[in-house]
A and B are shown apart, each in its own frame.
Chain A
Amino acid sequence: MRDIITIVVRLTVSCLLAATVMGLCFIFTSNAKKHNEHVKEQQVMYELLGYKGGAAIPESLAMHEVYRYVISNSEKQSIGYLVPAGHGEDGKFLFVNIDLDGTMIESKPVTLSAIEALEAETRNKAVLAAVSPGNTVTFADQTIVVTENGNRIAYLLGGKFQGFKTFVHVMLAVDPAFSFVGMEILEHEEDPGLGAEIEQDYFKNQFKGKPFAALKAIDVVKAPIPDDYFKALTGKVSDDDIMQFREQYKDKDIYALTGATISTKAVAYGVKGIVTKFAYRVTVLDKVLKEQQLAVSF
Chain B
Amino acid sequence: MKCEDYQNLIIEELYDEISPDDRLKLMTHMRTCPECATKLKTLRTTSQTLHSWPDADPSLNLTFVPENRLTIRDRLKRFGFRQFAYGFAGACAAILLILAIGNTRITYSDGRFEFQASLRPTGTALQPENYLTKADLEQFKLENYAAISQIIIENNESERVRQALMMSDLYKDFESKRQSDLQVVSQALRQVNYGSEQRFNQTDRALNALIQYVNYQSAIKP
Partners in one complex: no
